[in-house]
Structure formats: structure tokens, C-alpha cells
Amino acid sequence: MRAFIALLAGTIFGAGLALSGMVDPARVRGFLDLFGTWDATLAFVMAGALLPMAIAWRVQSRLLHAVSGDNFALPSTRRIDAPLAVGALLFGIGWGIAGLCPGPAIANLALAPLAVLPFLAAMLAGMLLHRLWAAQR
Amino acid sequence: MSALFANAAPGMGFLGGLLIGIAGVVMLLGIGRIAGVSGLAAQATGITGSDSRAVALAFIIGLPVGAALVAMARPIAVTFPSSLAVLIVGGLLVGFGTRLGSGCTSGHGVCGLSRLSPRSMIATGLFMAAGFATVAVMRAFGWV
């Protein structure tokens, strides 16, 4: 049941990425390209996504558990630290370089599987590198 | 509006954004979890531990399924960077950075911002700024 709900959510998410044009690396890079032919689409996507989520958080604060009966498993860290900042900066650089973030990259397995494969392989390698690096510290 | 947004697709962008937000709502209220793609991808692949790998895997499988459904109804154009090095360097940075920073555009950008999480506000500000700066530098070097 929980996996089915997650599959449904992932499918809606992937449809949203495709419909909004966010699966297109050129369009995402167009948003980040302030000195080129700027493409504002991503701002409208964010606005559309934030709206239902902002309402959902208000509902969530009044619930004891999720509809499935599961307890809420939500991030509880509040510390603003160097890993958060450095991680976000590295991610932003990679995002700008390729025009891809994790969601659109995975969704592209259905649209341009061969083109996205090198990015996805490198992304998983980067995640694995982080795990090895974190284990050493 | 037309001059400033000449290259944009505001309507489809907003509509697609709504779907992304609704997906986040289904995860949050449905099963009590954050629709953060980088975290779920790491859990689905076993790169990080998870109490429910099946949930993460199901969500990740849904992403291409949803994109394929839309592609059956209307043509979706995707233009990738032609350079293999660009894709690999970009991927490495996105993978390492999202784990170190505990999230990406969906987890921090959509779920965290809407929760008014200070961590997510800072992360989103930083990765947006880094993205703008990176493309500006690439443009300055004539790589865009």
C-alpha cells in the first residue's frame, strides 16, 4: 500500500516534470542563464509546486499520523552548518553545468535514456563517493 | 509580460509545477514522507540506508513512468549538453553535493521552502546562486 502511494506520487511528479518542460536541460539552463536569452519557466514551476505544498504543511501540523497510518518521518535537523552550505554550492555548480538535477535526470530515462545515462551514472558515483568520504571521517 | 517572458512557458510551467506539488502532498500526507528525489534515489539504490527501500524505489520508478505518460499525449523536446565531460562532471557534483547538503531542488526547493525551513531556505538560495554564477562563468568563457 505504501509503495503503491509512492509509485503514484512518483508518477505524478514525473508527469509534472515533463509537462512543465523541466525535463529539458536546455530549458533549465535557460533559467540559470541571466545574461543570455533568459527563460523564466522554472519560476512558474516553483510557484505551482509551492502552492499545494504550503497548504499541505498546514494540514500536516494538525495530523497525528499520515493517511496510511504511518508516523511522519520528516527532517528534524535544524543546524545551519558547513556541509549544508558546501553541499548546496557543489550541487548548484553541477546543476548549472549540465542543466540537470536528480528528478529530471531520472525522468529522462523514459525520454532520452542514452543521453542521460552518463549523467545518472556519474550522479550515483558522486553519491557513493560521498558515502565513502563520510565513512572515513 | 510577453517581452520579459518571451522564451518562457508560464502556463505549462505552472500546471506542471502544480503536479509536482501535488506529488509532494501525496507523499507527505499519504505516507508521511518528503518527496526529495536525491534522498529517495540514494535510498532506492542502497547508497544510503532506509527503513523502507520499497517506498523509495516505487517513487523513483514512477518518475520515468509519469514522463512517458505525458510524452504519449504530447511531444516533449529535450536538448542535452553535447559534451560527455559536461554530463559526467555535472553528475558527480550533483550526486556528491546533494548528499552532502541533504537535498536538491525537490527536497529543499519545494518541500523545505514550503515548510519555511531555515536550512532549506539557505540551501535553495545557495544552489540557485551557484547555478546562476556557473552559467554566467560558462557564458563568459563562451561555453554556453
Question: ∠B64-B67-B73 over CA atoms, to 5°?
Answer: 145
Cell of A27: 530549458
Question: How far is A108 from A115, CA to CA, in rounded Å?
Answer: 9
- Nearest-neighbour CA in chain A from B144: distance (Å): 9
pLDDT at B3: 62
Residue B29 to residues A1, A2, A73, B40, Cα–Cα distance (Å): 14, 12, 11, 17
Residue pLDDT, tens place only, A113-137: 999 999 999 999 999 999 999 999 8
- If DSSP states are collapsed to H, E and C, what string results for B49-66? CCCCHHHHHHHHHHHHHH
CB B4: neighbour CB atoms within 10 A?
Answer: 9
Residue pLDDT, tens place only, A40-94: 999 999 999 999 999 999 999 999 999 999 999 999 999 999 999 999 999 999 9
Q: Is B115 left (phi over 0), alpha (psi -120 to 50) or beta?
A: alpha
Looking at beta carbons, which residues of chain A come within 8 Å of B10? 40-41, 44
Q: What number is the ipTM of this complex?
A: 0.97
Facing A48 at nearest CB: one of B14, B80, B105: B14
Question: How far is A57 from B63, CA to CA, in rounded Å?
Answer: 23
- Largest Cα–Cα distance in chain B? 50
Nearest C-alpha neighbor of B119 from the set A77, A42, A112, A19? A77
Q: Is A82 on the interface with B (CB under 8 A)?
A: no
pLDDT confidence band for B143 (50 / 70 / 90): confident
Looking at beta carbons, which residues of chain A come within 8 Å of B112? 75
- Nearest-neighbour CA in chain B from A131: distance (Å): 7
The phi, psi pair for B15, rounded to 5°, reads -60, -45
Q: Is B95 on the interface with A (CB under 8 A)?
A: yes
The phi, psi pair for A62, rounded to 5°, reads -100, 0
For residue A28, how far is the Cα from the chain centroid? Answer: 13
